[in-house]
Amino acid sequence: MRWWRTATGTTVLVVALTACSTAPAVAPAPTSSAVAARPTPSAEASTVGSERPPVMAASVPVRVEIPAIGVDSELMRLGLQDDGTMEVPPAGFPAGWYDGAPTPGELGPAVIAGHVDWTTGPGVFYDLAKVSVGDEVRVGRADGTTPVFVVTAVQEHPKDEFPTAAVYGDIEHAGLRLITCGGEWDRSVRHYTANVVVFAELAHPG
């Protein structure tokens, strides 16, 4: 458990979930999406050119598609649990959008989480680690738009080294983070040892 201060001065309690068979290890995001410095060049190296599209108005996301790995999933809303950690989907499908973060296309880092597997078999993000830089992620929104994001980085981090600032920190463009479990299955504690994090940024509003 640790406290983390965002660029806007908001203090957030960061608690990583531990049971990756039932929940990706993610932390609650700050509620602010004010303009700030980009997290790290490695995570946010732009592949969409120097001219970014304008950010979009807020609209609830309802579907996520990642054509490169065959993902086409509805999205459920995820909030915070009583202990301050982010909720996770209750089953292997669908994926979920964290409603304490910006909506996809808005200024800031939108966050979508999903399981790598479940008791019934592979989960919605089973192949997330196979995504490559330059792949597209499409997010259908309630307003009828489908913004397209381009993957800028695919990373795997041990659970005790989750990149909180890079994932949830304030940024000056419309970003997207996809999170699931990675690493090896640890039978002694019954969860995976790492997290896979895909970073992407808005390419066009769709």
Let me know: does 16 contact 160? Beta carbons within 8 Å.
yes
The whole-angstrom separation of Cα 95 and Cα 206 is 21
> Which two three-digit tokens encode residue 122?
């592979």
Report pLDDT digits (tens) over 45-58: 454 555 889 999 99
The whole-angstrom separation of Cα 169 and Cα 98 is 14
Nearest to 132 by CA among 198, 49, 48: 198
Query: Sign of torsion, CA 183 189 191 197?
Result: negative
Query: Sign of torsion, CA 31 33 34 36?
Result: positive
Which domains occur in the chain, in start order?
A: 2-204 (2.40.260.10)
The mean pLDDT value for 73-100 works out to 94
Distance set, CA 131 to CA 39, 91, 118 (Å): 21, 22, 20
Higher pLDDT, 181 or 42: 181
Report pLDDT digits (tens) over 116-159: 999 999 999 999 999 999 999 999 999 999 999 999 999 999 98
- What is the reported pLDDT for 50? 59
- What is the reported pLDDT for 86? 86
pLDDT at 13 over 80: no
- What is the reported pLDDT for 52? 87
Let me know: does 24 contact 88? Beta carbons within 8 Å.
yes
Local confidence band at 184 (pLDDT 50, 70, 90 cut-offs) = confident
| SS3 (DSSP) at 128 | helix
> Which two three-digit tokens encode residue 180?
């699931």
Higher pLDDT, 87 or 34: 87
Local confidence band at 44 (pLDDT 50, 70, 90 cut-offs) = low
What global pTM score does this model have? 0.80
Higher pLDDT, 76 or 187: 76
